[in-house]
Structure 1
Amino acid sequence: MDAERIATGFSSPLYVCAPPGDTSRLFVAEQHGLIKIINLPSRTVNSTPFLDISFEVGQGQGTGIRGMT
Protein backbone atom coordinates (compact mmCIF):
# COMPACT_ATOMS: atom_id res chain seq x y z
CA MET A 1 0.00 0.00 0.00
CA ASP A 2 1.23 3.49 -0.85
CA ALA A 3 0.10 6.82 0.50
CA GLU A 4 -0.06 9.94 -1.62
CA ARG A 5 -0.80 13.47 -0.40
CA ILE A 6 -3.64 14.89 -2.46
CA ALA A 7 -4.42 18.12 -0.58
CA THR A 8 -3.15 20.30 2.25
CA GLY A 9 -4.48 23.05 4.48
CA PHE A 10 -6.43 21.09 7.07
CA SER A 11 -6.53 21.65 10.82
CA SER A 12 -6.87 18.44 12.86
CA PRO A 13 -8.52 16.27 10.18
CA LEU A 14 -10.07 13.21 11.82
CA TYR A 15 -12.29 11.53 9.25
CA VAL A 16 -12.49 11.19 5.46
CA CYS A 17 -15.29 9.68 3.39
CA ALA A 18 -16.77 9.75 -0.11
CA PRO A 19 -20.43 9.76 -1.12
CA PRO A 20 -21.52 6.40 -2.56
CA GLY A 21 -20.75 6.27 -6.27
CA ASP A 22 -18.92 9.62 -6.26
CA THR A 23 -15.32 9.23 -7.35
CA SER A 24 -14.59 12.95 -7.70
CA ARG A 25 -14.94 14.19 -4.12
CA LEU A 26 -13.77 13.43 -0.60
CA PHE A 27 -15.30 14.98 2.50
CA VAL A 28 -12.86 15.75 5.32
CA ALA A 29 -14.12 16.34 8.87
CA GLU A 30 -11.94 18.50 11.06
CA GLN A 31 -12.13 18.22 14.82
CA HIS A 32 -13.06 21.85 15.38
CA GLY A 33 -16.31 21.72 13.42
CA LEU A 34 -15.55 22.09 9.72
CA ILE A 35 -16.27 19.67 6.91
CA LYS A 36 -14.37 20.47 3.73
CA ILE A 37 -14.58 18.98 0.24
CA ILE A 38 -11.56 17.88 -1.77
CA ASN A 39 -12.09 17.97 -5.53
CA LEU A 40 -10.06 14.93 -6.59
CA PRO A 41 -9.58 15.70 -10.31
CA SER A 42 -8.06 19.11 -9.51
CA ARG A 43 -6.61 18.13 -6.11
CA THR A 44 -7.99 21.31 -4.58
CA VAL A 45 -9.99 22.03 -1.45
CA ASN A 46 -13.19 24.03 -1.95
CA SER A 47 -12.73 27.51 -0.50
CA THR A 48 -16.14 27.40 1.23
CA PRO A 49 -16.61 24.61 3.81
CA PHE A 50 -19.43 22.14 3.15
CA LEU A 51 -20.43 22.59 6.80
CA ASP A 52 -19.22 24.94 9.53
CA ILE A 53 -20.45 24.17 13.03
CA SER A 54 -17.32 25.46 14.74
CA PHE A 55 -19.50 27.76 16.85
CA GLU A 56 -21.40 24.69 18.14
CA VAL A 57 -18.54 22.41 19.15
CA GLY A 58 -16.18 22.73 22.06
CA GLN A 59 -12.53 23.51 21.48
CA GLY A 60 -11.11 21.37 24.29
CA GLN A 61 -9.56 17.95 24.17
CA GLY A 62 -12.04 15.19 23.37
CA THR A 63 -14.61 17.49 21.78
CA GLY A 64 -15.63 18.29 18.23
CA ILE A 65 -16.50 16.30 15.13
CA ARG A 66 -15.45 12.65 15.35
CA GLY A 67 -17.06 11.22 12.20
CA MET A 68 -19.81 11.44 9.60
CA THR A 69 -22.64 9.25 8.39
Structure 2
Amino acid sequence: MHTEINIFEKPIQRIRKTCELMGLDADFDRKLPELETYLEGLVAEGEISEERLTVSGLTFVKQAR
Protein backbone atom coordinates (compact mmCIF):
# COMPACT_ATOMS: atom_id res chain seq x y z
CA MET A 1 0.00 0.00 0.00
CA HIS A 2 1.34 3.41 -0.99
CA THR A 3 0.37 6.41 1.10
CA GLU A 4 1.61 9.87 0.25
CA ILE A 5 2.03 12.31 3.10
CA ASN A 6 2.33 15.94 2.17
CA ILE A 7 3.64 17.88 5.15
CA PHE A 8 3.26 21.13 3.20
CA GLU A 9 -0.48 20.89 2.53
CA LYS A 10 -1.81 22.30 5.81
CA PRO A 11 0.82 25.01 6.26
CA ILE A 12 0.34 26.25 2.70
CA GLN A 13 -3.45 26.28 3.13
CA ARG A 14 -3.08 28.23 6.37
CA ILE A 15 -0.63 30.66 4.80
CA ARG A 16 -2.95 31.17 1.81
CA LYS A 17 -5.95 31.86 4.08
CA THR A 18 -3.98 34.26 6.27
CA CYS A 19 -2.67 36.11 3.23
CA GLU A 20 -6.23 36.43 1.93
CA LEU A 21 -7.34 37.90 5.25
CA MET A 22 -4.41 40.33 5.24
CA GLY A 23 -4.94 41.39 1.64
CA LEU A 24 -1.73 39.73 0.47
CA ASP A 25 -3.34 37.42 -2.10
CA ALA A 26 -1.16 38.67 -4.94
CA ASP A 27 2.00 38.33 -2.86
CA PHE A 28 1.08 34.76 -1.96
CA ASP A 29 0.37 33.77 -5.56
CA ARG A 30 3.56 35.40 -6.79
CA LYS A 31 5.73 33.84 -4.08
CA LEU A 32 4.18 30.36 -3.99
CA PRO A 33 6.96 28.58 -5.94
CA GLU A 34 9.64 30.19 -3.78
CA LEU A 35 7.60 29.52 -0.64
CA GLU A 36 7.40 25.82 -1.47
CA THR A 37 11.17 25.71 -2.00
CA TYR A 38 11.72 27.56 1.27
CA LEU A 39 9.49 25.15 3.20
CA GLU A 40 11.20 22.16 1.59
CA GLY A 41 14.50 23.55 2.84
CA LEU A 42 13.17 23.83 6.37
CA VAL A 43 11.94 20.24 6.26
CA ALA A 44 15.30 19.10 4.89
CA GLU A 45 16.90 20.75 7.93
CA GLY A 46 14.62 18.70 10.19
CA GLU A 47 11.60 20.92 10.81
CA ILE A 48 8.43 18.83 10.96
CA SER A 49 6.04 21.03 12.96
CA GLU A 50 3.18 22.23 10.77
CA GLU A 51 2.74 25.23 13.04
CA ARG A 52 6.37 26.28 12.74
CA LEU A 53 6.30 25.76 8.99
CA THR A 54 3.20 27.96 8.82
CA VAL A 55 4.74 30.77 10.86
CA SER A 56 8.02 30.58 8.95
CA GLY A 57 6.13 30.58 5.66
CA LEU A 58 4.05 33.61 6.64
CA THR A 59 7.20 35.45 7.63
CA PHE A 60 8.76 34.53 4.30
CA VAL A 61 5.80 35.84 2.31
CA LYS A 62 5.61 39.08 4.30
CA GLN A 63 9.34 39.75 3.99
CA ALA A 64 9.23 39.10 0.27
CA ARG A 65 6.95 42.08 -0.31
Say which structure is richer in strand: 1
Above 0.5 in TM-score? no
TM superposition score normalised by structure 2: 0.34
TM superposition score normalised by structure 1: 0.32
Q: Which has the larger radius of gyration?
A: 1
Q: Which has the higher contact order (CA 8 A, sep 6+)?
A: 2
Say which structure is richer in helix: 2
